[in-house]
Amino acid sequence: MSRMNVDLSSARNMDTVQVEQEIRRHLEQSLGVEPDEATPGDYWEALSLLVREINLDRIRNTRRGEKNDGVRRVYYLSLEFLVGRLLGNNLHNLGIYHQVEKAMVGFGVNISDVLEYETDPALGNGGLGRLAACFLDSLTTLNVPAFGYGINYRFGLFKQGFVGGKQVEGPDAWREDGFPWGIERAKRKQVVRLYGRVREVDGNALWEDTQEVLGVPWDLPVTGYNTDRVNTLRLWEGRATEGFDLSSFDAGRYQDSRFREILAENISQVLYPNDSHPEGKELRLIQQYFFVACSLADLIVRYKREHEGWGQFTAKVVMQLNDTHPAIAVPELMRILMDEEDFVFTKALDICRSVFCYTNHTLLPEALETWPQGLIARVLPRHMQLIHKINDHFLSKEVEAQWPGDHQMKRRLSIIQEPGDPKEPQMVRMAYLSVIGSQKVNGVAALHSRLVKEQLFPEFDELWPGKLVNITNGVTPRRWLAICNPELAALINQTLKGDWQSDLALLNELKVWADDPEFQKKFARIKLDNKQALAKVIDELCGVKVNPDAIFDVQIKRLHEYKRQQLNLLHIMAVYRRLLDNPDLDVPLRVFIFGAKAAPGYVVAKNIIYAINRVADRVNNDRRIRDKLKVVFLPNYRVSLAEKIIPAADVSEQISTAGFEASGTGNMKLALNGALTIGTMDGANVEIAEEVGDDNIFIFGKTVEEVSDLRQRGYHPRDIYQHNEELKAVIDWLASGDLSPEEPDAFRPLVESLLDSDYFLTLADYQSYSDAHEQVIKAWKNPSHWWRMAIMNTASMGKFSSDRSIVDYCKTIWNIGV
Ligand code: F58
C-alpha cells in the first residue's frame, strides 16, 4: 500500500481535496475498486482504513510520550463496552467530518448512507456498558493515559426481532464480515490458568495441574475530541494453546485433549444477557477471571517495562472495577504479589487497596453478584483460598477492632454468605470483596450514592468513613449532541462563543435565548426535522406511519419491571379508552415510542413487550381514534438506534420506582437534546430536576421515603385497583384475553405481578403519573412555553458531560491532575 500523501499529525488540517485524494487512494490501492464502481460499503471501508492509518500513527506517538513521562494510568475494567459505530465519531474527533462530507458529495455519495453501513457492536447490555464507552471518550479527550480492558465477544447481545409481537432472539455475529477498527496483537497474548489444585510446599502455595487457555488482545484505538492522544480499548479473545494435549489423547482421554480447545473457544463466544437473576454460569465466572487475568498480566508487563521494582506500582496504576464483574481481580493481584513476587499478605492487601476502586451500579439485591463457594474453589482454587484469607483478616482484625466480640456483625459483613437453608451452598459476595479490596467505592448519582451508604453498605461506611463517595454519571456531548444532532449543534455553534463540546457548561448561555421567538422557532424547526427523519425510520422498521407534528414520547432503556415500561403501557391503554369514549377529546396527537431488549429468561419483561406490541397493533389500526394515538416498539434497540431517536424526542420517560434506577444516562441524553422529562425522583433525575428547575420538568410519584413508608405500612395493590376505576378497567382489559384471543391467558404473568405483589409500585404511582401527563399536554398546548422549557433543558445539561464525571473521578478517586 502506498503511503499517505499528507502528514498524519496534521490530519485535522486536511482540506477537502486532500481528503478526496486519500479516499481515492484507499479505494484504488487498498480495495482495488474504481470510485465510480464503489458501493457505499466500499467508501465506508476506504474511509475506515484511512482513519485507522491516522489512529495507528497517533497511537505510536501517544505510547512514546507516555513511556518517556512514566505516567500514571487508569485501567477501566469492564465486561461491557457499548462503543457504538466508530467511523463518524472518529471523523468528528479528527476534525475532518465536514471535509469528508464534502468529498463524498464530489463522489456523488451521501455520507449518511456510508456511515449507516457500519455494524454497531453490541458488546454490552445497557447503561453500564455505554457509560464505559462515554468514559473512554472523555478520558482521551481530557488527555488522561488510559486503557479499557474487556472481552472481544464473538456474539454480542442478541439481535431482537418480534414474531406476532413476541420477542425472539437471534445471534449477533457482529464481526463476521470483518471490522477494520480492531488490531490483533498476537505477540501480546497471555496464558490463563484454570482448575487444578493447590499444593503447599515450604509455606508456598503451588497452583498445579491447571488447564491453560490463551488470551489474545484485540485493540480498538480510542480517539478523543480535539486531541492527538489515542488511548486503547484492549479486548481479549480466548484461544486454545498451541497444538493439543497429546498425552491425554494417547491415554484415551479424548475429551480431556479437546477440553482446552472447547473451553478456549467458548470463553469469548457470548455476552451474557442475564438480567434480574444472576445465573450461576460457570462460563460467566471463567469469562470474568479470563479477562481480569489477561488484563492484570498485561498491565504488569507494561509497568515493568517502564519501572524498576514494585515501588512505583501504586503511584502508576489505578484500576476501576465497573461493577463487581471484574472483582476477581482482587484475589488475582494478591496471587501474583504473594505467589510470584514474594510479598507478604498484608503488604499485598495494602497494594490492592491502593490500586483498585469499585463502581456500584445497582441496589437491587438480586442483581448483586454472588458465586457458589464450591464453584470458585473448583475453577480457581488458589483464588478461593485467598478470598478466605482476605475474609479472615478482615473479620478478625478490622471488624473485630471496630466491633469487638460482635459475632452478629462478623456474620453480616463476611464475604462468605451463610445460607438460610443448610442444604444451600455458601455464596461469595462479590460486592463485599470489591469494597474490602478497594481504595474507594462510588455510586453513580447523588441519591444512589446516599442509598449505597445508608442501605447497602452502612457498616462499611462506619468502618471506613470517606471510602464511599459519589460520582454522578455523564454522557459524551460529542456523540450525544454534536454528532447525533448536527442541526442543533450548528444552531448552538452560531449562538454561543467558545467550544461547548469541550466545556458543556457553556450551554448555560443559551438560557438568555429561551424566550426569544426567533430562536424558539429555529429550535422547534430542528426538532421537527429530526422527527421527520425518525418517522421514516419508524415506517421502515414498524410499518407504521406517524405524524411528525405529534408529541414524540420516548421510553428507551433495558426492559425491567423497576423501569416500569408497564406503567407507561397502562397509561397508554387508558388514553386509548378515553379516546374511544370521546373521539372529540381535545388532546394533542401523541406517538409513544419504545425501545428495549428483555433478557431472554425474564418472563415478565418479555410479557410486557408482548403486551405493548399487542396494544400497539390495536391502537394503530383503530380508525375511530383518528390517528390521535400511535404506539411503536422499535425492534433491536441499540446505540445507533438511540442516536436517531434521541434528537427526535419531545418527552423523555424516566419513570422508575424511586430508589431503583442508580442513575440513568438516557435521561441526560434526552434532556440535552431538548426533550422534557416526565420522571420520578430517582437516580440522576433528582439532579436533572435541580439543574433545570421545577418548572421545566414533570415530576411525579412516590419519593424514596414514601416508597419505604408505604412498604412498612403494608402495600396492597388490589386496594388501589379496586378504587381507581380507570386503572381497574385497563387491567381487566389486559386480563380479559381480548388483546390475544388465540391465547387468552397470555398476559397472566404481567397481571399477576401487578395485582399480587406489584413489588415496583406501578399501581401506587399510576394516578400521579397520569396527572403528570395531563401537565405535559397542557404545556404542549402552549408552544412558546413548551419551547422555552425545551431550550432550558438543553441549556441546563452542562453538569452531565462525562468530561465532568471523569474530572470528578480524577480528583476524588484516582488522584490524577487534570
Ligand atoms: C445501569 N446498569 C444502571 N446494568 O441501571 C443505570 O441506572 C446506570 O445509569 C448505568 O448502569 C450506568 O451507571 C446496567 O446497565 C446492566 O446492564 C447489567 C449488566 C449485567 C447483567 C445484568 C444487567
What is the residue type of 732? D
- Tell me what percent of the residues of the chain surpass a pLDDT of 90: 92
**Average pLDDT over every residue of 239-248:** 68
Collapsed DSSP state (helix, strand, coil) of residue 84: coil
Collapsed DSSP state (helix, strand, coil) of residue 320: strand
- Tell me what percent of the residues of the chain surpass a pLDDT of 70: 96
What is the residue type of 582? N
pLDDT at residue 1 in the model = 41
pLDDT over threshold 90, residue 276: no
CA angle 783/689/795 to nearest 5° reads 60
pLDDT at residue 275 in the model = 73
* β-bridge mates for residue 220, sequence order: 233
pLDDT over threshold 60, residue 245: no
Collapsed DSSP state (helix, strand, coil) of residue 142: coil
Instruction: Look up cell 453490541; give the residue.
Output: 122
**Average pLDDT over every residue of 164-171:** 97
Distance 153 CA to ligand 1 centre (A): 19
Distance 127 CA to ligand 1 centre (A): 5
Of 361, 602, 800, 808, the residue with max ligand 1 atoms within 8 A of its CB, to mutate for a pocket test, comes to 361
Evaluate whether 456 touches 410 at the Cβ level (below 8 Å).
no
Cα–Cα distance, 473 to 686 (Å, whole number)? 13
Cα–Cα distance, 570 to 587 (Å, whole number)? 18
557 is catalytic: yes
Cα–Cα distance, 723 to 760 (Å, whole number)? 19
**Average pLDDT over every residue of 160-165:** 98
Residue 666, number of CB atoms within 10 A of its CB: 27
Evaluate whether 1 touches 30 at the Cβ level (below 8 Å).
yes
Average pLDDT of the chain is 95
pLDDT over threshold 80, residue 69: no
pLDDT at residue 324 in the model = 98
pLDDT at residue 9 in the model = 57
Q: Taking CB atoms and a 6 Å cutoff, what residues make up the pocket around ligand 1?
A: 125-128, 131, 274-275, 361-362, 444, 473, 661-665, 683
pLDDT at residue 262 in the model = 80
Cα–Cα distance, 473 to 668 (Å, whole number)? 9
**Average pLDDT over every residue of 331-344:** 98
pLDDT at residue 6 in the model = 55
Nearest Cα neighbor of 276 from 748, 605, 753 is 605
Q: Annotated catalytic residue: which of 260, 558, 702, 799?
A: 558
pLDDT tens for each residue of 507-539? 999 999 999 999 999 999 999 999 999 999 999
pLDDT over threshold 50, residue 553: yes
Residue nearest (by alpha carbon) to ligand 1 atom 19:
125
Q: Annotated catalytic residue: which of 189, 361, 453, 531?
A: 361
Phi, psi of 793 (to 5 degrees): -65, -50
How much of the chain is helix, strand and coil, in % rounded to 5?
55, 15, 30
How many Å is the Cα radius of gyration of the chain?
Answer: 27
Evaluate whether 564 touches 750 at the Cβ level (below 8 Å).
no
pLDDT tens for each residue of 440-494? 999 999 999 999 999 999 999 999 999 999 999 999 999 999 999 999 999 999 9
pLDDT over threshold 70, residue 345: yes
pLDDT at residue 281 in the model = 86
Distance 132 CA to ligand 1 centre (A): 11
Distance 573 CA to ligand 1 centre (A): 29
pLDDT at residue 2 in the model = 46
pLDDT tens for each residue of 375-410? 999 999 999 999 999 999 999 999 999 999 999 999
Instruction: Look up cell 498524519; give the residue.
Output: 8
